[in-house]
Amino acid sequence: MNRRRFLQLTGTVSGAWLVGGVRPRSAFGSTRLLDPLSQPRFVNPLPNPLDPRLIYAPTFGSDGYTIGVSAFSQSLGLYDPEDGAPLMTPVWGYGGPAQQDGLPAATDPGRTFVAYRDVPVTVQWTNDLFGAAHLLPVDTTVHWANPLGAPLGDPFGGPVPVVPHLHGGHTESDSDGLPEYWWTPGEAITGPRFVKTSYFYGNDQPAGTLWYHDHALGITRLNVYAGLAGFYILRDQMDTGMPGNPLGLPANDPSHPGGPVFYEVPIVIQDRLFTAAGQLFYPTEPDEVESGFPPPPAPSALPEFFGDIIVVNGQAWPVLDVEPRKYRFRLLNGSDSRSTTPGLRPTPAGSPARALRSSSSVLTMRSCRPRCRSISSPSAPASATTRSSTSPASRDGPSSRGTTPVRPSRKARPSIRGATVSSWRSASALS
């Protein structure tokens, strides 16, 4: 079994493990990476993207939003293996004006849009990455945004181009966030097909789980990895998201007399690599180069990427307290290349926990009685997973491949007793 196959199956990286929670790897040069075995699992509370504190509030009119892209540091639930201190990770994220409860204006993943069928939404998107170089290595030898028009192969130090895309949305072309519609901070430089930064979403489609993410040409994979993604939940008269809805689906009730209760849980699963200091790490070259071929440029766009720390809703290996009742999970695969098969796995007899697994356990659910109080951290919303398919051909062009929901057959769907699994969505075409 080769290394790539082993990593796909187990989500852990083979190699020599060193004392101190960091490890070397030949493809990563001298970079010291965080050892996933040094991190506590199933301790960080799972944020619920549908917690009212993690839902965007309109900033103009009843359905208008101003959302920007910015750089900041955030806890992703990682800890220093030497002294146990929390590690802060520099990320990018979406956000608007500071919201209630003192939570930060921008988060990774971004807050959740909750929209309604046939009720249009307008979003004024802004690129606020002023003076920022990219957090991750950019391969400038490929067809990419290249805002400065620099020669192929020249190092890139900014300005960073972005363009948002509503994945799965029925959207007019000028608001669809196609790869060549990008712009830099202040709209100082724009892509060859740039039209506007105020996007119109008609929401003229059935209710479902959508997500928004960056889509800039040639660096989508990097911008999403840096944190530019979030949920867009579309409701209708049947799927209202309210208790007593016509479909009888589990729903949230933030105003419950006994305290807020949350029975609808969007879950996004993403795999990441981190340095020993807690910074995001993305390889600059493939692990293996076929004999007889010249070495690739450094940095080089990779045909696929697999991380060894699983981040769910913005927290590493979190835990969700649940009641013995039905829940509704909205599942999203936000990884670059990793395929997952979600399902509930019982823990040993006598234990109250259940593990939602994909390749290996990514989230533990603990039973609490009689009612669970929601625990949401200010980290950000997120989702979970189905299947991610990203071929090299679909990663770097303005292709719409992969924008439709993945709908496995009934046999392929996970058996989750006492839960409703809906709205399968897969990350794909990440350039």
| Count of C-beta atoms within a 10 Å radius of residue 128 | 15
Domain boundaries, the chain: 5-426
- Among 316, 313, 308, smallest CA distance to 329 is for 313
Residues facing residue 162 across a β-bridge: 183
Rg (C-alpha) for the chain, rounded Å, is: 21
Which letter, b or e, does each residue of 262-296 get, where b requires 16 or more Cβ atoms within 10 Å of its Cβ? bbbbbbbbbbbbbbbebbbbbbbbbeeeeeeeeee
> Phi first, then psi: what are they for 235, rounded to 5°?
-105, 165
pLDDT per residue as tens, the chain (431 positions)? 454 444 444 443 333 333 345 444 445 667 899 999 999 999 999 999 999 999 999 999 999 999 999 999 999 999 999 999 999 999 999 998 766 566 788 999 999 999 999 999 999 999 999 999 999 999 999 999 999 999 999 999 999 999 999 999 999 999 999 999 999 999 999 999 999 999 999 999 999 999 999 999 999 999 999 999 999 999 999 999 999 999 999 999 988 888 889 999 999 999 999 999 999 999 988 877 778 888 888 899 998 999 999 999 999 999 999 998 999 999 999 999 998 888 877 666 556 566 665 445 677 777 665 555 443 333 333 333 233 333 333 333 333 323 333 333 333 333 333 344 444 455 444 54
CA triplet 121, 217, 11: central angle to 5 degrees? 90
Residues 6 or more apart whose Cβ sits within 8 Å of residue 280:
89, 90, 91, 135, 136, 225, 226, 272, 273, 274
The three-state secondary structure class of 185 is: helix
Q: Write out the CATH class of domain 5-426.
A: mainly beta
